[in-house]
């Protein structure tokens, strides 16, 4: 897992890209906990989201989970191939399994996210 | 969903408690809205809430991502009202089943992963049914899975932890209880159904073997007594006390209820896929 990632408590990861856009995905912990993914609904490009707002949904065997925007901004790209290749989320969650790219309204919101150590501590403390 | 966060007179009594809400029968949209209310209340209280409820008429609840056209083209359920659940899974025919919703904060030991909550509640039901001489067991993880999205009805699918029984025909095994979840930011809402008695309002592929079809010649537990015994088993598993409350939503204010139910009456929700 790359060290430059930040995490939301709702298990989305964020990676700042060279062009200033943030790439967002789902942590390997969350993907493993959901097991057997069957469907994913992505947002439309151009949609504005607020931090903490649901921007998509993912269905595993009998559980629907919301995906939450870790920062406010505009969805500028979605991984349109992902719903047809959900196994990618498990195989490469921090690479090919990215979900959306967001142009953040306020990059300082990143400061409120967890670094890798804090996220590992969070998921390590959760009951299994 | 937003709602009042004012302190409740029950605050302080709930952390070591399983609270059970007994609700009046309602239509599908009202029941789905009541379940969202339940989830918000579980998150606010920080404890497990369980709601038992009925249906004013036979109703099909669709899983969160099922295709509406599939339901509308199915002869076996033509004319039966449809409502879409926020949770996943397949379609369920409600009306003569034991329907429940349970909500638990994600910080709770049962809220962290989907299977833990399924297994806790379904395991308690296995024990409760056994008290009545009815043998059911969880569909094992290593068994050949019949989970297939092409199967429309929940009770035609098999996932790990679904409850099954032997029968009604010799050599057959039938699913009698299934559950599905909606995992929100801070709380998990789990819907579930136990096919206690057969539903005569539907036929053909919509009619699945119920407990009453399987234990022929043996008495089937009364629904309220079974629900109460199950609640006690669940509480025992957690090591907490049971507290029963009159459910505030279905019997509550008409305007507030209608406001919360409107999303589930809207075709943009019901026909979203």
B238 assigned to some structural domain: yes
How many CB atoms are closer than 10 A to CB A32? 12
B4 assigned to some structural domain: no
Give the tens place of pLDDT for each residue, B210-236.
Answer: 999 999 888 899 999 999 999 999 999
B44 assigned to some structural domain: yes
| Residues of chain A with confidence (pLDDT) below 70 | 1-3, 125-128
Average pLDDT over residues B169-174: 92
Interface of A with B in 12-51 (CB under 8 A): 33-36, 38-39, 41
Which residues from A are below 8 Å from B159, CB to CB? 61-62
User: Does B115 touch chain A if contact means CB atoms closer than 8 Å?
Assistant: yes
Contact: B87, A65; criterion CB under 8 Å: no
B93/B178 Cα distance (integer angstroms):
12
B79 assigned to some structural domain: yes
B27/A32 Cα distance (integer angstroms):
36
B265 assigned to some structural domain: yes
Give the tens place of pLDDT for each residue, B96-130.
Answer: 999 999 999 998 989 988 899 999 999 999 999 99
Give the residue from B65, B89, B157, B189 with the most A CB atoms within 10 Å of its CB, the best one to mutate.
B65
Number of structural domains (chain B) is 1
B167 assigned to some structural domain: yes
User: Does B266 touch chain A if contact means CB atoms closer than 8 Å?
Assistant: no
B102/A16 Cα distance (integer angstroms):
39
Q: Determine whether B253 is an active site residue.
A: no
pLDDT at B259: 78
Give the residue from B181, B183, B263, B272 with the most A CB atoms within 10 Å of its CB, the best one to mutate.
B183
User: Does B89 touch chain A if contact means CB atoms closer than 8 Å?
Assistant: yes
Catalytic residue among B154, B159, B202, B235: B154
Place B143 in a pLDDT band, splitting at 50, 70 and 90: low
B7/A44 Cα distance (integer angstroms):
39
CATH code of the domain covering residue B100: 3.30.930.10
| Residue B65, both tokens | 């991502």
**Domain with B28 in it:** 17-270
B114/B188 Cα distance (integer angstroms):
9
| Residue B120, both tokens | 């806790």
B268/B253 Cα distance (integer angstroms):
25
Contact: A36, B179; criterion CB under 8 Å: no
Least CB–CB distance from A61: residue in B64, B147, B185: B147
Give the residue from B70, B85, B88, B155 with the most A CB atoms within 10 Å of its CB, the best one to mutate.
B88
Average pLDDT over residues B15-36: 91
Contact: A41, B87; criterion CB under 8 Å: no
pLDDT at B145: 57
- Name which residue leads in pLDDT, B12 or B240: B240
ipTM above 0.90, yes or no: no
B6 assigned to some structural domain: no
Nearest-Cα distance to chain A for B250, in Å, is: 25
> What is the arrangement of strands in the sheet containing B59-62, beginning at the earlier edge strand?
B82-84, B59-62, B92-94
**Domains of chain A, start order:** 6-121 (2.40.50.100)
B2 assigned to some structural domain: no
């Amino acid at each position: 897992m790359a060290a430059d990632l930040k995490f939301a408590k709702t298990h989305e990861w964020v990676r700042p890209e060279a062009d200033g856009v943030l790439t967002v995905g789902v942590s390997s912990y969350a993907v493993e906990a959901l097991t057997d993914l069957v469907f994913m609904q992505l947002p439309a490009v151009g949609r504005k989201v607020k931090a903490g707002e649901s921007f998509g949904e993912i269905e595993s065997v009998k559980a629907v989970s919301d995906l939450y925007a870790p920062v406010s901004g505009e969805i500028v790209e979605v991984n349109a191939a992902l719903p047809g290749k959900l196994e990618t989320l498990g195989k490469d969650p921090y690479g090919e399994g990215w979900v959306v790219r967001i142009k953040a309204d306020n990059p300082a919101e990143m400061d409120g996210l967890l670094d890798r150590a804090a996220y590992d501590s969070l998921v390590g403390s959760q009951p299994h | 969903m937003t709602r009042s966060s004012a302190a409740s007179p029950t605050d302080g009594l709930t952390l070591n408690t399983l609270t059970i809400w007994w609700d009046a029968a309602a239509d599908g949209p009202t029941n789905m809205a009541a379940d969202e209310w339940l989830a918000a209340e579980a998150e606010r209280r920080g404890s497990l809430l369980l709601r038992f409820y009925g249906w004013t008429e036979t109703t099909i609840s669709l899983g969160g991502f099922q295709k509406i056209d599939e339901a509308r083209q199915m002869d076996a359920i033509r004319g039966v009202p449809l409502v879409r659940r926020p949770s996943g899974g397949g379609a369920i025919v409600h009306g003569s089943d034991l329907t429940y919703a349970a909500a638990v904060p994600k910080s709770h030991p049962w809220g962290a992963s989907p299977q833990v909550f399924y297994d806790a509640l379904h395991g308690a039901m296995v024990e409760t049914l056994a008290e009545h001489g009815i043998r059911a067991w969880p569909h094992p993880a290593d068994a050949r899975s019949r989970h297939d999205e092409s199967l429309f009805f929940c009770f035609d699918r098999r996932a790990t932890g679904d409850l099954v029984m032997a029968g009604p025909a010799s050599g057959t095994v039938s699913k009698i209880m299934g559950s599905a979840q909606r995992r929100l930011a801070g709380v998990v809402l789990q819907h579930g159904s136990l096919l206690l008695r057969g539903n005569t309002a539907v036929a053909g592929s919509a009619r699945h073997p119920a407990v009453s079809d399987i234990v022929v010649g043996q008495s089937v537990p009364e629904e309220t007594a079974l629900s109460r015994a199950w609640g006690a088993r669940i509480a025992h598993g957690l090591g907490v006390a049971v507290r029963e409350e009159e459910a505030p939503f279905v019997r509550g204010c008409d305007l507030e209820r209608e406001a919360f139910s409107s999303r589930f009456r809207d075709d943009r929700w019901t026909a979203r896929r």
